[in-house]
């Protein structure tokens, strides 16, 4: 199932049922799991490993060396999970420092012209709409939706089930369950639709909304005070624990 015009390096490890389309190039150090499909004109370079049933659309490039000017040609890695879709012209780069990895999880939809830079960590069930861009060392947790043309600054974190509006410029962390929009992006409210779609109960959504009001709407509270009140005044839950831990660990500060 390898097209006659494709070039596959003899050191690449390609599962027998992979489909490699016309004019694809698979370099040394590339591993493709079962059921992967490369449509055409896809370029993969190693060291990189992709799991099972990943789909790469035309002109997608993955595993190229980092654009970080500190890179000194040491071996770095790109690791991709299972059941991902990478649409046209998506780019995914390896990490910068020796032995480090750029990591993409499973069941993600990375749409056309999106970019995942060196040392990023992307979770599971993430949607990056067209032209969404992650700078280096960005973390995107599970079930995040990034609107088209979202640009995320280096070292920022996007919490689970958060989302961004189109053309958002993200320069600080966006806590879990929140909706952010603007240039620079500001948290506007909770991601009500995303929470509902991901099966979060009404009671849990009400608790998250109450926490949001303490973080963003209560006059005279700094972030640490708001977190303390959330922990003391709201019923303990896994979601609120995750929110408080995320905010407390923020190094760039949270988007306000």
Q: How many CB atoms within 10 Å of residue 243?
A: 25
The rounded distance, in Å, linking the Cα atoms of 167 and 158 is 16
Measured at the CA of 108, the angle between CA 105 and CA 111, to 5 degrees, comes to: 130
Active-site residues, by number, are 118-119, 136
Please state whether beta strands 157-158 and 139-140 pair in parallel, antiparallel, or not at all (unpaired). parallel
User: Coil, strand, or helix at residue 190?
Assistant: strand
Measured at the CA of 60, the angle between CA 97 and CA 132, to 5 degrees, comes to: 75
């Amino acid at each position: 199932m390898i097209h006659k015009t494709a070039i596959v390096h003899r050191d690449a490890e390609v599962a027998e049922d992979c489909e490699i389309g016309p004019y694809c190039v698979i370099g040394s150090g590339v591993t493709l799991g079962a059921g992967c499909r490369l449509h055409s004109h896809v370029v993969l370079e190693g060291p990189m490993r992709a799991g099972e049933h990943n789909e790469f659309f035309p002109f997608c490039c993955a595993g190229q060396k980092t654009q970080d000017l500190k890179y000194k040609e040491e071996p770095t890695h790109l690791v991709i999970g299972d059941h991902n879709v990478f649409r046209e012209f998506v780019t995914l780069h390896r990490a910068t420092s020796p032995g480090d990895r750029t990591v993409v999880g499973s069941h993600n939809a990375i749409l056309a012209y999106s970019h995942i830079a060196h040392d990023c960590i992307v979770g599971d069930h993430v949607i990056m709409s067209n032209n969404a861009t992650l700078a280096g060392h960005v973390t995107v947790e599970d079930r995040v939706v990034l609107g088209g043309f979202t640009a995320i600054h280096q070292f920022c974190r996007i919490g689970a089930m958060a989302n961004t509006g189109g053309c958002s410029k993200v320069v600080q962390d966006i806590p879990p369950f929140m909706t952010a929009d603007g240039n620079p992006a500001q948290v506007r409210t909770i991601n009500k639709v995303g929470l509902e779609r991901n099966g979060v109960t009404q009671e849990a959504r009400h608790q998250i909304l109450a926490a949001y009001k303490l973080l963003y709407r209560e006059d005279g509270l700094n972030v640490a005070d708001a977190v303390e009140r959330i922990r003391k005044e709201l019923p303990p839950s896994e979601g609120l624990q995750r929110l408080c831990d995320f905010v407390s660990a923020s190094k760039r500060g949270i988007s306000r």
